[in-house]
Amino acid sequence: MRDIILIYNPKAGDTYFRFSLDRFIEIFSAKNVEIRVFRSRQPGDMALYLKECDLSLTEAVFVAGGDGTVNEVVNAMMERNSRLPIGVIPAGTDNDFAKLLGFGEDLEENLKSLFAGKVVPVDVARVNDRYFVNACSAGTLSSMVNVSSDMKNLFGRWAYYIKGVSALPKFHKMDLSIQESETIHEGRFAFMTIVNARPHPDGVGADISELSNGMFDLLAVKIDGIANIARVIMKIVRKEPIHEKDVLYIEGKHFNIWSNDDTDENYIEVDGERGPAMPLNIQVYQGALQFFVKD
């Protein structure tokens, strides 16, 4: 690499990355890499910067922040139809996508792996007019940010999620129709989530093949299936067959989802941020972007 861009969100997570900025510059500058640094000041300015800047000599884009920060960069890169590799430095409150790529909490170790430069293609999905690489979720679960950030994403930290299962029967039921290929599934669901890949049981890393297989996983749980959700989660982690009548689990590349209840006020979350309203049209683009993964 000879010319890279570093974009960082100074308000992400515990705001600590700004104190590590010099270390990033030190590691890459030691190899005569030209670095352009962009510091975000408000939502949307990272995407605007990437849409307008000259990328002709750029070899990689690095982004420090959480899932929402990564999502903003992903949308800008997709709109530019850019295949430049993207390096994610986990610096947010939730760093679920960075964990899928294998990056943990050790910043020094992460920077050295990013510099090593192992890049793989990663699937990107679009929900209505917005792209995402990690997860799109619907239902009350997605809005429970004040209960525990660990519960925001079903395919995040398994143990914390299971602890919250006791609260699920109180959730508003969503009367949904979910279409994949020619099949339509209907029911009243407690929540639904669509994710890129399943992490390893420890929550860090995923099978690289799952990140670029052209399929996202949909999991929707009916209110009657709540009692079985812990067992279902473990089956997903272990990649065992799921035959629960109250749990819908599908691997697909195109989903249409709509509500059959005009009074439904479904909270949609996309990569940790507020998403579009129903109906949802979700399309997967196989290997649309390239990301650095843990060496």
Sorting pLDDT into bands at 50, 70 and 90, what band is 188? confident
Domain C-terminal end among 122, 138, 154: 122
Question: Is the same domain home to 144 and 208?
Answer: yes
CA 68 – CA 82 distance, rounded (Å): 19
CATH number at residue 255: 2.60.200.40
CATH number at residue 88: 3.40.50.10330
Question: Is the same domain home to 8 and 38?
Answer: yes
The larger pLDDT score, comparing residue 142 to residue 42, is at 42
pLDDT digits (tens, 9 = 90+) for 104-134: 888 888 888 888 878 999 999 999 999 999 9
Residue 86: which domain range? 3-122
Q: Is the four-CA dihedral 234, 177, 128, 152 of positive or negative sign?
A: negative
Average pLDDT over residues 146-172: 45
218 close to 255: Cβ distance less than 8 angstroms: yes
The whole-number pLDDT of residue 202 equals: 58
128 close to 171: Cβ distance less than 8 angstroms: no
Is the peptide bond preceding residue 279 cis, with omega within 30 degrees of 0? Answer: yes
291 inside domain:
no
CA distances from 287 to 50, 122, 217, 264 (A): 20, 4, 16, 34
pLDDT digits (tens, 9 = 90+) for 251-292: 999 999 999 887 666 778 898 788 898 999 999 999 999 999
Question: Is the same domain home to 9 and 101?
Answer: yes
- CA dihedral of residues 51, 7, 270, 161 (deg, nearest 10): 170
Is 239 a residue whose pLDDT tops 80?
Answer: no
Element at 114 (helix H, strand E) = helix 107-116
The whole-number pLDDT of residue 294 equals: 86
CA 207 – CA 101 distance, rounded (Å): 9
295 inside domain:
no
